[in-house]
């Protein structure tokens, strides 16, 4: 019997629940997730050009959606930009799409990738796990929602340091095990 590849949305949901919310890497994620205001989208495209078109569609859709229904969109694209350097280069095009659609100041894009690596860090640095997802992912966020969440949080500047401490204790291997089915 052949082993079937895992459903990218199921893997992304597990990552959101166990890492992003479970480890409290984003203290703002739980509220919108439990209210079912997170739109999870599987993008089956295979080229960066097609991904850019899908991204533009999702940006407009999010902008027009009622925030009480859809506050944020997680666009999972498992078949394109698997190479982190290609993905990282694509982020400039993604930001340009936000600008071209007149959404600068309205929507921002957070980036996540299985091989995410911050500049100047070794690949296996646990801090890279803060932006590691099961599949290449673009997270579309309403800036107004981010601003409200940050304003209500007691010490937003401490989030990064707390995340680094959490991930250092867990380690890269622990992080990988956390995301296993």
Is residue 61 situated within a structural domain?
yes
Is residue 6 situated within a structural domain?
no
Is residue 8 situated within a structural domain?
no
Is residue 30 situated within a structural domain?
yes
Share of the chain above pLDDT 70, in %: 98
- Relative to beta strand 107-112, strand 137-142 is antiparallel
Give the count of domains, the chain. Answer: 1
Number of residues that make up the chain: 181
Give the mean model confidence (pLDDT) for residues 65-75. 98
Is residue 7 situated within a structural domain?
no
Q: Write the CA distances from 117 to 53, 61, 68, integer angstroms.
A: 26, 30, 34
Domain with 100 in it: 14-178
Is pLDDT of 1 > 50? no
Q: What is the pTM of this model?
A: 0.94
Is residue 116 situated within a structural domain?
yes
Over residues 90-103, the pLDDT tens digits come to 999 999 999 999 99
Is pLDDT of 4 > 70? no
């Amino acid at each position: 019997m052949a082993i079937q590849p895992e459903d990218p949305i199921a893997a992304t949901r597990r990552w959101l629940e166990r890492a992003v919310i479970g480890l409290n890497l984003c203290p703002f994620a739980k509220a919108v997730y439990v209210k079912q205001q997170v739109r999870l989208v599987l993008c089956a495209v295979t080229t960066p050009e097609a991904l850019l078109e899908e991204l533009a569609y999702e940006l407009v859709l999010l902008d027009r959606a009622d925030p009480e229904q859809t506050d944020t969109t997680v666009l999972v694209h498992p078949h394109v930009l698997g190479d982190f350097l290609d993905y990282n280069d694509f982020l400039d095009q993604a930001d340009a799409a936000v600008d071209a659609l007149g959404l600068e100041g309205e929507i921002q894009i957070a980036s996540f990738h299985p091989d995410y690596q911050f500049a100047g860090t070794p690949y296996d640095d646990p801090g890279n796990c803060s932006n590691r997802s099961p599949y290449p992912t673009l997270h579309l966020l309403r800036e107004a929602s981010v601003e409200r969440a940050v304003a209500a949080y007691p010490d937003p500047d401490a989030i990064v340091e707390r995340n680094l401490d959490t991930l250092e204790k867990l380690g890269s291997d622990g992080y990988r095990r956390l995301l296993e089915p």
